[in-house]
Amino acid sequence: MYDVIVIGAGVTGASIARRLSRYKLNILILEKEIDVSMGASKANSAIVHGGYAESHDELRGRICYKGRVEFNKLNQELNFGFLENGSLVLAFDEDDEKELNKLYKMGLENNLDDIEIINQEKLRQIEPNVSDDAISALYCKGAGVCSPYEYVIALVENAIENGAELKLQSEVVDIKKEEDIFKVKTSDDNTYEGKFVINASGLNGAKISSMITETDFTIHPRSGEYLLMQKGTGEKIKQVLFQTPSPKSKGILVTRTYHNNLLLGPDAIDEEEIDLGTHIERLAEIYKLGLKSVKDDVIDLKKFIRSFAGLRPASSTGDFIIENTKTSGFINVVGIQSPGITSSPEVAKIVENILKDLNLNLEDDPSYNPYRKPIIEYKDLEDFNKVKDKIDLPLGNPERLVCRCEQVSEKTIRDAMNRGIPCLTFDSIKRRTRSGMGFCQGNFCRQRVLEVMEDETGEKILNRKFDSEHSGISRINKKDINNFIKELEEKNLEE
C-alpha cells in the first residue's frame, strides 16, 4: 500500500515526488516511457522564466516567480545546472514598446522586484551583440537557463534516495477507487494500491483523469521546433533574448543553453496529432526571426548540429489545472505548459497543501537528505591534443574518454548508471553525461557508450530502437537547412 502514487515522471511529477519524499510516506512514481523526462520536460527552451509573461489572473502567472526564486537553492542541493543570466524582451517599434509596458505591469502584479524597462544605451551595455534595430527592452535580472532533463533526473534520483519507488515502462491503463483506496492498473498487468493519486501525466492528463473522475477539460499538443548550434556558440549571447510575445508563444528566442550551445526557437503550432519531427519551412522561419534579435555574425548555420521539436500539453482552460477532483484524493496536476519548469517548485508545494487539507499525515522524516551529487558539471572543452591519448585506453579504465566531442569519461558513464534510475538506452546516458551531444552527434561514441553499458550491467542492451536516431522521427539535418536557406536567399536576391 502506497500513501501517494504519482503518475508521470516529467518535471511536474518529479517535483511533487521529491517534495513529498521529505516526509514519512510510501511514494510510487509510475512512468510509461523507458526513462524519466521523456515528454515536454525533455524538449523545451530550458528557460527559468522571469514571471512577467502571464497575467496575475492566471494561476501560472501567480506562481511562476515563486517557483523561479527557488532555483538557486534547488541547484545548490541537486546540482542539475542553473545559470541566472537574465532575460531581455526586445522592442523594435512603438507597438512593441506598448507590449513591454504591459509585461512590466504584469510583472509588478506578480510581485517581481527585479524588472525594468531599459533604453537602447543600457541595452547595448549589457548585451553588446543585440540587434542595432532594437530600441529598448524589458530586463529581468533573475531569469536564467537550466538543463531541464538533468533537473528532472536530479529530482527523481533524490526522491529515490529518500525512499520513493520508480516504475518505468508502466503505462496506467485503468484506475478504480474502492472504499478509500485507489487501485491503479498498469500496462504490465500490475495493480498498485494507494491512498492518494497525483495525475501529472502531461499530454495524457485528460485521458488519465477521465478513467476515474468527471473531466471537463481537454489537453492537446502544441508543438515548437528548435535549432541548436554546437557547444561554444552560446558565448556571443549573455542574456536570454525574447521578442515580444504572441497569444500562443513568448516569442522566438535566441539564447545560450546551460552548456553553452546557441538555441533558437520555438514556434507554436497546435497539432491534431503528435509529431516530433522537424520541418524545414518552420525551421527556416525560426532562423529568419532569430536573425532579427542579434547582430549578423551571431547565428552561424555552419555550426548547426541538431533540430528538435517539443510538445507542450496545452489545456482547454488556457491555464494550469491543479485541484482535488470530485473523486476526492485523485488530484489533477495537468495543463502544465510554459512556464511549467519554472513553476515546478511551487506546483509541488500546492499539491503538498492539498494533501495536507485532505488529512494525509505529513510527518517529517529525520533521515531526509536534500542533496544529490552531480553527474557532470559545466566545463569548457580541453585542448584535444592534451586528452586524445585517453581515447584509446582499454575498456575498464575509468579515465578512458568514451565520447570525444564532449570529452566524457568511462567513470562518468558508470556513475550515471548507478543512481537508482535504470539506464536502458544510449539516449538515457546521453541526457545524463552529454555523450553524443557534440559535433558528431554520437557517430563516434554511440557504440563505445553501449559497450560500457553492457560491461557495467553484464547484459546486452536491447532497447536501441528507443534511441532517437533509430526512432523513425524525421529531423532536418545540417545540409538540408543550409541548402534551403541558401536557396531562399538567392530567390530573394532575384526578386
Q: Does 322 share its domain with 277?
A: no
Q: CB pairs under 8 A, 24+ apart, for 22-25? A: 22/162, 22/364, 22/365, 22/368, 22/370, 23/362, 23/363, 23/364, 23/365, 23/368, 24/361, 24/363, 24/364, 24/365, 25/163, 25/360, 25/362
Q: Is the pLDDT of residue 406 over 60?
A: yes
Interatomic CA distance for residues 492 and 260, integer angstroms: 33
Q: Would 171 be classed as within a structural domain?
A: yes
Q: Would 476 be classed as within a structural domain?
A: no
Average pLDDT of the residues in 90-117: 97
Q: Would 477 be classed as within a structural domain?
A: no
Grid cell in block for residue 242: 525574447
Q: Would 470 be classed as within a structural domain?
A: no
Q: Is the pLDDT of residue 283 over 90?
A: yes
pLDDT tens digits for range 455-480: 999 988 766 556 665 566 788 888 88
Handedness of CA 53, 59, 65, 68 (dihedral sign): negative
Q: Does 418 share its domain with 436?
A: yes
Q: Does 127 share its domain with 24?
A: no
Strands 27-30 and 2-7: parallel
Nearest Cα residue to 347 out of 66, 132, 131, 56? 66
- Residues forming a β-bridge with 184: 175, 192
Q: Does 332 share its domain with 294?
A: no
- Residues forming a β-bridge with 228: 263, 306
Average pLDDT of the residues in 432-441: 94
Question: 10 Å Cβ neighbour count for 134?
Answer: 21
* pLDDT > 70 in the chain, percent: 96
Q: Does 69 share its domain with 164?
A: yes
**CATH code for position 28:** 3.50.50.60
Q: Does 159 share its domain with 292?
A: no
Residue 163, burial from CB neighbour count under 10 angstroms (0-12, 13-18, 19+): middle
Q: Would 485 be classed as within a structural domain?
A: no
**CATH code for position 122:** 3.30.9.10
Q: Does 68 share its domain with 169?
A: yes
Amino acid at 303: K
What is the number of structural domains in the chain? 3
Average pLDDT of the residues in 145-170: 98
Q: Is the pLDDT of residue 248 over 60?
A: no
User: What's the pLDDT score for residue 490?
Assistant: 76
Which of the residues 49, 56, 220, 279 is marked catalytic? 49
Name the average pLDDT for the chain. Answer: 94
Q: Does 137 share its domain with 150?
A: no
SS3 content of the chain, % helix, strand, coil (to 5): 35, 25, 40
Q: Would 442 be classed as within a structural domain?
A: yes
Q: Would 426 be classed as within a structural domain?
A: yes
Q: Does 228 share its domain with 205?
A: no
pLDDT tens digits for range 234-247: 999 999 999 987 66
Interatomic CA distance for residues 142 and 446, integer angstroms: 38
> Which of 315, 334, 353 is the last residue before a domain boundary?
315
pTM of the predicted model as reported, rounded to 2 decimal places:
0.96
Q: Would 492 be classed as within a structural domain?
A: no
pLDDT tens digits for range 20-64: 999 999 999 999 999 999 999 999 999 999 999 999 999 999 999
pLDDT band at 436 (very low <50, low <70, confident <90, very high): very high
Q: Which domain holds residue 289?
A: 83-144+220-315
**CATH code for position 460:** 1.10.10
Is residue 470 flagged as an active site residue? no
> Which of 315, 338, 356 is the last residue before a domain boundary?
315
> Which of 331, 349, 374 is the last residue before a domain boundary?
374
Q: Does 437 share its domain with 417?
A: yes
Average pLDDT of the residues in 181-191: 97
Q: Does 242 share its domain with 309?
A: yes
Q: Does 68 share its domain with 191?
A: yes
pLDDT tens digits for range 70-82: 999 999 999 999 9
Least confident window among 57-61, 65-69, 258-262, 307-311: 307-311
User: What's the pLDDT score for residue 274?
Assistant: 74
